[in-house]
């Protein structure tokens, strides 16, 4: 999954939020039904199923800086699919 975190996501996002931080807003723009940004994984819901993507170092550093109020810049990164979850 390619995630394009734009300045609008950084400006509108809420640091520390699992569903409306800058990363979550960028993932929402990809059209998923639900988004949950955790400490190590980003979970997305599509067609009733949850898919977990492992955060790479770039995303983990971005989130850490963003949550601490450190200036971050837009970035494009790729996350790899790790697991398919259950239907809810």
- Tens digits of per-residue pLDDT, 18-70? 999 999 999 999 999 999 999 899 999 998 889 999 999 999 999 999 999 99
Residue 85 contacts by C-beta under 8 Å, 6 or more apart in sequence? 43, 49, 50, 51, 52
Three-state secondary structure string covering 6-68: CHHHHHHCCCCCCCCCHHHHHHHCCCCCEEEECCCEEEEEECCEEEEEECCHHHHHHHHHHHC
pLDDT surpasses 90 at 80? no
pLDDT of 81 > 70? The answer is no
State the pLDDT confidence band at 83, using cuts at 50, 70 and 90: low
pLDDT at 85 over 90: no
How many structural domains comprise the chain? 1
Range of the domain at 22: 2-87
pTM: 0.89
């Amino acid at each position: 999954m390619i995630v394009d975190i734009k300045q609008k996501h950084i400006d509108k996002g809420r640091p520390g939020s699992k569903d409306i931080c800058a990363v979550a807003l960028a993932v929402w723009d990809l059209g998923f039904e639900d988004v949950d940004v955790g400490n190590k994984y980003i979970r997305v819901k599509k067609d009733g199923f949850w898919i977990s993507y492992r955060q790479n170092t770039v995303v983990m550093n971005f989130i850490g800086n963003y949550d601490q109020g450190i200036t971050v810049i837009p970035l494009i990164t790729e996350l790899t699919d790790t697991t398919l979850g259950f239907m809810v």
